[in-house]
Amino acid sequence: MFDFFFYLLAYILPAYLGFRLSKEQGRSIWAWTIACTVFSWFGVIALVLSRPGPPTAQQYAKANPGNAAGGMSCNRCGSRSIRVWREQAFIKVRQYHICNHCGTTLYRSM
């Protein structure tokens, strides 16, 4: 009985989390599932820490050309009201541009 819970906690649960998270984030599902099976919870931690953030302004403009023409607008609701959320972690400053209408994080700058 103990063996079952040990294998469940040490291998099956991290593998399942690796599968779900990589599928959600659109990353390599097989590679992350195998990595999370082999490295157990360290693989899950690596997957969470290395997830990509919001796109840069250039990437956003390229992916949504209709929302970048003549000033940025939200790709979800079309609102032109965008606020800047500034976050400083130690010495690194990040700026997130968030739609005022629907609250979607659109892109980052800096």
Positions touching Zn ion (CB under 5 A) are 74, 76-77, 79, 99, 101-102
Which residues are within 8 A (CB) of 50 and not within 5 positions of it... i.e. 6 or more apart? none
For residue 20, the tally of other CB atoms under 10 A from its CB is 13
Strand partners, 109: 95
Sheet with 105-109, edge to edge strand ranges:
82-89, 92-99, 105-109
Nearer residue to Zn ion within complex by CB, 9 or 102? 102
By CB atoms closer than 10 A (0-12, 13-18, 19+), residue 76 is middle
Closest distance to Zn ion from the beta carbon of 64 (Å): 12
Nearer residue to Zn ion within complex by CB, 25 or 104? 104
Closest distance to Zn ion from the beta carbon of 60 (Å): 13
Nearer residue to Zn ion within complex by CB, 53 or 103? 103
Nearer residue to Zn ion within complex by CB, 79 or 109? 79
Closest distance to Zn ion from the beta carbon of 28 (Å): 30
* Amino acid in the structure at residue 16: Y
Closest distance to Zn ion from the beta carbon of 4 (Å): 47
